[in-house]
Amino acid sequence: MPIEQDERVRSFGTKVRLFPQAPYLAGFAEPEVVWLSPPAGTIGPGPSDDRMYIVDAVEKQQPYAFPDLPPYYGDAHPACGPSADGHFDHFEIGSREFVAAHLYGSVRRVLDIFESYLGRRIEWQFHERYQRLELIPLLDWDNAQSGYGFMEFGYSADESGKRWPFALNFDVIAHEVGHAMLFSLMDLPLEGRWTPEFGGFHESAADLVSLLSVMHFDTVLERLLHACRGNIYTLNELNRIGELADARQIRLASNSRKMSEVTTEMHDLSRPLTGAFFDMIAYVFMDKLYRRNLIGADLFRESLRDEPRAQKTDWIQAAFDEAYKDRHFQFKAALTESRDAIGTRLAAAWEVLSPNDLSYSDVAAAFLSIDQRLDDGRYNSPFQGSFHWRGIVEYVMAAQI
């Protein structure tokens, strides 16, 4: 969500408390206060609004599977209500009410972010049959899923075997919302026109929705920058990923995989595309640091080149350490702006793509066409270079779409 819009929401929105990462991870035992776009007092019990509603099922025996679809008609725990001032940030951590509010708040927050990037409302794919998305926070199941008109969440186990609700894992929730938004924007391919790259694209896009959404948590940006001092490629190279915020998503995003190195399995196939977009976030971040005289030309150049970066790890980190000193807020502003630059371009590209016979070259062309219209196309050449290095395209001229 663009910074200015996020600040406006804080003046009228509804507060919830969300965990940026699963609460059993070190450093994330306390949730962060987040503001949602519906004005305080307008979200109903559940929580519920005009887009979604929580139903805390008592004895739902099985996850939904066609033809068994919403709505849920069984017994449900009482819907949790807002505080006297219309917010949902007052529940005891770990209570059923807190889990319900956390799931609702996470879905609503991701939707807010990407609707702000698009500049319009996203209508659910199923809106002609169901007016609202049904959210079931606690199901005795070891998985989570989203489907036609619903999302439902079971439990995962930590290393000690303790079970934790997926509904408290923002990363998992955001990924599922990513799939739901893509189906709403693009729909499904026609019969016979599904490609392996459509599956890889969907997984990549859902991972990027999660990554960009988690980058809206202040605690995530603070931990990330304090750990790497702006050298975001240290996430993989120095194996310090466990100290940072969105460990799973960063590991997926910051990768060096090329199309020649992956299979057609959709998660594996997604990696070059996700990696290309992570490289673009890094490029815009470095470019903003350089243009604001926060880093020098040598550091800008060497930190973005694979071979020199591998050969000059110590020099690059020392240079970032020095540049970052007493400039945390300038670095943070550059990172949030790079986040929003890529988020805006991605959302606009998804809106114009056809799911039929989709190829990664289609994704690249759409993205580059959108980029050409923004910032005077300043990033078009390095973005093309990123797609080319990954083997996604030989060369792409941004087409008018």
d(CA 48, CA 103): 11
Which pLDDT belongs to residue 159?
A: 76
Question: Other C-beta atoms within 10 Å of 58: how many?
Answer: 11
d(CA 286, CA 398): 23
Do 5 and 116 contact (CB within 8 A), yes or no?
Answer: yes
Question: Other C-beta atoms within 10 Å of 183: how many?
Answer: 18
State whether CATH 3.40.50.10800 applies to domain 3-186: no
Which pLDDT belongs to residue 4?
A: 80
Which pLDDT belongs to residue 26?
A: 75
Q: What is the pLDDT along the chain (401 residues), one digit of tens a residue?
A: 777 888 899 999 999 999 988 888 777 889 999 999 999 999 999 999 999 999 999 989 899 998 899 999 999 999 999 999 999 999 999 999 999 999 999 999 999 999 999 999 999 999 999 999 999 999 999 999 999 999 999 998 877 888 999 999 998 999 999 999 999 999 999 999 999 999 999 999 999 999 999 999 998 899 889 988 999 877 543 233 333 344 445 456 778 889 999 999 999 999 999 999 999 999 999 999 999 999 999 999 888 866 655 567 889 999 999 999 999 999 999 999 999 999 999 999 999 999 999 999 999 999 999 999 988 888 999 999 999 999 998 744 444 33
pLDDT per residue over 273-306, tens digit each?
999 999 999 999 999 999 999 999 999 988 886 6
Which pLDDT belongs to residue 199?
A: 96
Which pLDDT belongs to residue 310?
A: 58
pLDDT per residue over 73-131, tens digit each?
999 999 999 999 999 999 999 999 999 999 999 999 999 999 999 999 999 999 999 99
pTM attached to this predicted model: 0.92
- Concatenated DSSP letters for 8-62? HHHHHEEEEEE-SS-TTSTT-SS-EEEEEEEETT-SBTBTB-SSEEE--BSS--S
CA triple 87-89-90, angle to 5 deg:
100
The 3-class secondary structure across 237-283, one letter per residue, is HCCCHHHCCCHHHHHHHCCCCCHHHCCCCHHHHHHHHHHHHHHHHHH
User: What angle, 0 to 180 degrees and rounded to 10, lies between the N-to-C axes of helices 380-389 and 266-291?
Assistant: 150
Domain ranges of the chain: 3-186, 204-389
